[in-house]
Structures are given as structure tokens and as C-alpha cells.
Amino acid sequence: MDATQLLKGVLDVAVLAVVEGEDGYGYDVVRRLRAAGLEEVGDASVYGTLRRLYSAGALTSYVVPSEEGPHRKYYGITPQGRSMLEVQRKVWAEFSTTMNRLLFEEGAA
């Protein structure tokens, strides 16, 4: 199975998770995701996801002017984003438990 297909379904929660602790700008988020092991994540997908989460109210954003380069647009998590992340964590935990049992435990029904 192609991991990029799986990634599409969980990119929202992955992005929320990496900005939960610290605000980040677009490429910063990409880099954190890749550092966490999601090496195949496409940067445009991440930027689009950030934008969608912002529209949904899960993220806040602000522009930081840069002295030596173009502006950077930072995203931070909102309370709504945090509660969304909590729900998604539970969903993921249950889902991954189910899948692990299905895939790796013998005699699973």
C-alpha cells in the first residue's frame, strides 16, 4: 500500500499535532512532519491543509515580516484546534488498535 494515500487521511491531525506545541510557518511545518518520519509529505499539500484548518477555525495565522527575505506566514493552534486534535487522537488510537489487531494478531476475527 502507498503510504501517501494513507497520509492524505491523517494529514489534518498530523499538522495539528506539529503546531500544537509551537507555532510554525509553512515550510517549518513541512520540515517538522518530515523530521517526524513523514518524508513523503508534499509541501503544497501541507500548505493547503494549513489554509483549510485555518478556514475551519482550528488554526490562527499571522504574518511575520522578514528583514532579509519574503514575509513568513505563521500558524498557531486555536482552542477549537486543540479539541479537534483531542478527538482525532482518540479516533486514531482506536483505529490503529483495531488495525494492528487485524493485521498482526493471529486468529483475529
Partner 1 sequence: MTPTIAPQIASFAAAVRDALADLPDEERDELTEGLEADLSEAYAEDLTNTLPDPVEYATELRQAAGLPVREAPKPSVFAGLAEGWQRTRGDVLAALRRNPMLVSLLDFAAALRPVWWVARAWVATWLVSVFFGSEDGFLPAGPGWFLLLAVAVVVSVQWGRGLWRFPGLPTLIVLGNIVALVAILPVVAYARGYSGAHDDYGAGFGDGVDAAQIDGLAFDGAALENVFAYDADGNLLRNVQLFDVDGNRLAPTRMAEETQWELQPATLETGEQVFNVFPLSATRMTWDDGGGELIPDPNPDPDKVRAFQDGPFVKVPALQKVSGSND
Residues at the interface with partner 1 (CB under 8 A) = 11, 25-27, 30-31, 42-49, 51-52, 54-55, 63, 65-73
Give Cα 91 distance to the centre of its chain: 15
Give the whole-angstrom CA distance, residue 35 versus residue 37. 5
Q: Which is nearer to partner 1, 40 or 94 (CB)?
A: 40
CB of 2 to partner 1, least distance (A): 16
CB of 15 to partner 1, least distance (A): 10
Q: 61 and 82 in contact (C-beta within 8 Å)?
A: no
Classify the phi-psi angles of 27: left when phi > 0, otherwise alpha if psi is within -120 to 50, otherwise beta: alpha
Q: Which is nearer to partner 1, 66 or 83 (CB)?
A: 66
CB of 69 to partner 1, least distance (A): 6
Q: 26 and 43 in contact (C-beta within 8 Å)?
A: yes
Q: Which is nearer to partner 1, 47 or 108 (CB)?
A: 47
Give the whole-angstrom CA distance, residue 53 versus residue 78. 10
CB of 78 to partner 1, least distance (A): 16
